[in-house]
Amino acid sequence: MDVARWGFADDTVVITGGGSGIGRATALACAALGLRVALWDIAADTAQATIDALGVPKSQSHLVIADVSDPAAVEAAFEDTIAQLGPVRYLVNNAGPRAADPYSFDEGMRLGAGSVELVTRLWLATSPPPDASIVNVASVAGNIVGTDPAWYGANKAAIAGYTRSMALALAPQVRVNAVAPSLVNTARTSKWTDSDLGRHWAEVNPLQRWAVADDIAYPIVYLLSPLAGYINGVLLPVDGGQTLVL
């Protein structure tokens, strides 16, 4: 891999929900490209396993166990991260509740779109370096297709709308984009994707398979990077073309 071509040089990225799934794959890709990786997660065991898997010196990675919906925890996490790895130029807002979680509408929105806004606001308060970049993880749910429960689709649509608003508000100092995955086959979703219905939906996808975490991580890293320096305010569906046949 031509690391230099990506334009990442002596920079730090924060990845929320970085311990598993899309977050883990994104952390591995960022580390491979030479970024210093601050991995934030609420689950200590899986997060530590991901840090160990990065294969980089301790000076190049840092683990923070934090609830991204808690303002005090997020503020402390940024202080800790910057003390260990330096200013944070790149932010991946990946953490969020699952559709299967039994939240009320208000609580689901607070934990999802609310935490994205909170983390972003407190990151901006740290005065990120110039040419900074954010990638938010939204979904095709709520933006292209409907889904249950209602709070989940509304949450992902809110993240997309927030992305567009901030892309205008923060330019030219910060670019803000989002990815919109369809269902991704991870440990979190394997019970469904391995079911008869899940296998059927994989078969009708034009690419005839479910996404894996790397399929989402690589577009995230691209949008984050200087290679995407003229892309701002985009919601990028990453679904194998599935929404074309629904």
CATH of the domain at 68: 3.40.50.720
Instruction: Please indicate, yes or no, if residue 198 is contained in any of the structural domains.
Output: no
220 has a pLDDT exceeding 80: yes
> Which tens digits make up the pLDDT trace of 40-67?
999 999 999 999 999 999 899 999 999 9
Instruction: Please indicate, yes or no, if residue 189 is contained in any of the structural domains.
Output: no
Instruction: Please indicate, yes or no, if residue 43 is contained in any of the structural domains.
Output: yes
**Domain around 144:** 3-184+212-244
Instruction: Please indicate, yes or no, if residue 158 is contained in any of the structural domains.
Output: yes
Q: Are 151 and 109 in contact (CB under 8 A)?
A: yes
Q: Scan for tokens 């194998």, then name that residue.
A: 240
196 has a pLDDT exceeding 80: no
* DSSP state string for 13-26: EEEETTTSHHHHHH
Instruction: Please indicate, yes or no, if residue 70 is contained in any of the structural domains.
Output: yes
Q: Are 222 and 132 in contact (CB under 8 A)?
A: no
Instruction: Please indicate, yes or no, if residue 192 is contained in any of the structural domains.
Output: no
Looking at residue 3, what is its pLDDT?
A: 67
Q: Which residues contact 36 (CB under 8 A, 6 or more apart)?
A: 11, 12, 13, 59, 60, 61, 62, 85, 86
Q: Which residues contact 128 (CB under 8 A, 6 or more apart)?
A: 87, 88, 89, 91, 173, 174
Q: Which two tokens stand for residue 3?
A: 């690391």
Query: CA-CA distance, 40 to 17, in Å (whole number)?
Result: 6
- What are the angstrom distances between the C-alpha of 119 and each of 33, 76, 77, 78, 199? 24, 11, 10, 9, 36
Looking at residue 190, what is its pLDDT?
A: 67
Instruction: Please indicate, yes or no, if residue 8 is contained in any of the structural domains.
Output: yes
198 has a pLDDT exceeding 80: no
Quickly count: other Cβ atoms within 10 Å of residue 5's Cβ: 11
Looking at residue 141, what is its pLDDT?
A: 83
Total-model pTM: 0.94
Looking at residue 205, what is its pLDDT?
A: 86
Provide the domain count of the chain: 1
Instruction: Please indicate, yes or no, if residue 200 is contained in any of the structural domains.
Output: no
